Chains A and B, each alone.
Chain A
Amino acid sequence: MITVEHLTKRYGDFTAVDDISFTIEDGHIYGFLGPNGAGKSTTMNIMTGCLAATSGEVKIDGYDIFEQARQAKQCIGYLPEIPPLYVDETPEEYLRFVAEAKGLPKRAITAEVARVITETRLTEMAHRLIRNLSKGYRQRVGIAQALLGNPRYIILDEPTVGLDPLQIIEIRDLIRELGQKHTVILSSHILSEVQAICESVLIIAHGKLVAFDTPQNLERTLAANNRLVLTAECDEATLRTILDGQTVVSSYTVEKDDQPAPAPAKATDTAPAERAEEAAPAAEIPAETAPAETETAEEPLSAPEEAAEAVLPADPAAAAPAPAVTKATVTLAGDPEAACRTIFFAFAEAKCALLQMTPIKADLENIFIELTEDEPSGKEASDHESGIQA
């Protein structure tokens, strides 16, 4: 068990860590989350004894990290943000030195070094100079160093930063494996990573601990799961008519297509028959410009008629290559499941195919933004969210 009590670190006037207290229980993977400069690395450096705290104390299994540094440090394996490697050595030589410095018995060193090399899958690279290894392998050497001596706690500071996607997956798998035998604490500013691996999340912002819970609990408590994105095979006006009539829909926004409509305004005036003869991509353009125009007109009653004229041709076969597709973000009222059902049947009755209905998960990203912002408010959070989707 690691207990951190009223930890504060000041650099002159700047407070990097401000009165943080928490307890790490054995046998889980913990995630330290926070924007850059929030105090994650500082907290970790203090927890591992690399840095002295201004006030407060850290106890590892009851050993104070400053008073009983030797015993406390023997319980911890730490990978700092930049893996501290001697680049002129091979991983094996390097690990041998770390094992010796960690005070492992002489006879056990060779076996222990071999064990961590296999565990971190470094076997092929064990005799190359670290200078010549790729970043992913260097990271592994760093992790191997932390594993030496089989410490109870493994603390990893941003273990996947700067790695390619494949390496990230490999390192994550490795961390998951480690989580079965050790208590792992990792820091990250990548939310999906913490969501994917960690069983508990500590969110740090501006040097303060703002949340400490499981990802699921955080999602549940901080954002209600009542929004969804739907994609329907109809134009915007039809969609608006259908959604306007629903009591389960408390509000919605129709998403604009990002593609600019190159067709001039005159296009809507041309005869539908003429347009039906045009090539498929050309037919798509007026279909999209029409709704955009109806929206600026702000005449909801006349809009459907115009749209119907412009989009729905008499002969369905002619229009088949380019059906209009509209996307909307809907906020539901009441029970989400019941509301989904109602919406589904409403579209079915209007003979509009619903192509997609995706609930917006109140993911850690929103929670994170909400918590780490200076003045958290629902409106701001939703603004950020639409920014992310766009």
Chain B
Amino acid sequence: MKAVFKHEMSLYYHGLLAYVFGAFLLEFIGIGAMMYNINSAVANFEYALGTFCIGFVALVPILTMRVMAEEKRQKTDQLLSLLPITGTDIVLGKYFAMAVVFVAPMIVACVYPFIFSFYGDVYLPTSYGALFAFICLGLALTAIGMFISSLTESQGMAAGLCVVVMLFCYYSADLADYISSTAFNVAALLVLSALLALIVRRLTRSDVAGLIILVLCVAAVAITWLVSPTSLETLLPDLMNQLSLFERFYTFVNGVFDVTAIIYYISVAAFFLFLCVQSWEKKRYNG
């Protein structure tokens, strides 16, 4: 793991990527700080983070698009799989390298609230709490991006998919408000089941596995429908609200340090890293 980590670090910092990413990240935060804290003279640095966390939609793909896809395209994945290291070593090594690339500019951003505190009455705990949550959110999104990158051989494809997923994550809570009719919910749930079944089929290359997932999901929807039709009305919106990564971040912006959210971010990261390892190992079985 250490070797992969060091190697990835040298790739990031020998190339432009780490610098471009850092510059973009600081620019987003900097503009936010400029608008809220300096121009409008608001003492809450967390507002700047809250507004500009949409920046992740562009930033995460920049960071993660090449991480797995490029290995496949250049056939260097074969090198990694012939070396005496495991898939977990590879995925974690790469993930931690990306984490460093992301966290390094954030350390610069950590100075901002401190500077502001010289010129006004800044409540530092909420500022730093929000910064910490911002980093956790970023790390969870990075894991999702990494998994997307492991699904394809093309960087462009990985970036495109990643933007779509990030946008969906960002707007999922807003979208949830619009879907409250039972019929729409059922339809949406069925579509989601079909999507999930397709993904499973693609990952396992087994029609049977895909069908089983589809049947299970449809059965679950049908049972819920039979048992309590009313619960379906709000099932999907509730689910989307509960799963939304960004929605949970706003709790921190509002000045509440929500430990469950931090645990949720860590779980999401761990879950997608696990999927990423599976996606990597899968290659060994399907060639």
The interface of chain A, by Cβ under 8 A from chain B, is 11, 42, 45, 48-52, 69-71, 73-74, 76, 78, 80, 82, 84-89, 93, 97-98, 100-103, 145
Contact = CB atoms under 8 A, between A and B. Distances in A.
A100 B287 contact: no
Nearest to B6: A100
A87 B74 contact: yes
A87 B6 CA distance: 17
B242 interface: no
A74 B84 contact: yes
A88 B11 contact: yes
Contacts of A102: 83-84
A50 B82 contact: yes
Nearest to B85: A101
A11 B82 CA distance: 20
A50 B284 contact: yes
Nearest to B285: A52
B181 interface: no
A112 to B, nearest CB: 14
B79 interface: yes
A78 B286 CA distance: 20
Contacts of A88: 11, 14-15
Contact of A49 (B2, B10, B75, B81): B81
B191 interface: no
Interface string B88-127: 0000000000000000000000000000000000000000
Given A80-B78, A89-B11, A102-B84, 15 more contacts: A45-B78, A45-B287, A50-B78, A50-B284, A51-B284, A71-B84, A80-B82, A84-B74, A84-B76, A85-B74, A85-B76, A88-B14, A97-B3, A97-B6, A100-B2
A70 B3 contact: no
A70 B11 contact: no
B51 interface: no
B7 interface: yes
Contacts of B81: 49-50
Given A88-B14, A88-B15, A101 B78 contact: no
Nearest to B4: A101
B224 interface: no
B153 to A, nearest CB: 14
Contacts of B75: 80, 82, 84
Nearest to A97: B7
14 contacts: A50-B78, A52-B284, A52-B285, A69-B84, A73-B83, A80-B75, A80-B78, A84-B74, A84-B75, A84-B77, A84-B78, A86-B74, A87-B74, A89-B10
Q: Which of B11, B78, B79, B81 has the most A CB atoms < 10 Å from its CB? A: B79
Contact of B287 (A11, A74, A85, A89): A11
Nearest to A78: B82
A14 to B, nearest CB: 11
A51 B77 CA distance: 12
B230 interface: no
Nearest to B2: A100
Interface in B230-287: 284-287
A102 B286 CA distance: 25
Contacts of B10: 89, 93, 97
A60 to B, nearest CB: 11
Contact of B84 (A97, A101, A145): A101
Contacts of A70: 84
B75 to A, nearest CB: 5
Nearest to A100: B3
B11 A86 contact: yes
A101 B3 contact: yes
Contacts of A73: 82-84
A73 B83 CA distance: 7
Contacts of A80: 75, 78-79, 82
Given A73-B83, A97-B7, A102-B84, A86 B76 contact: yes
Contacts of B76: 84-86
Interface in B201-232: none
Nearest to A76: B82
Contact of A48 (B15, B82, B85, B285): B82
Contacts of A49: 81-82
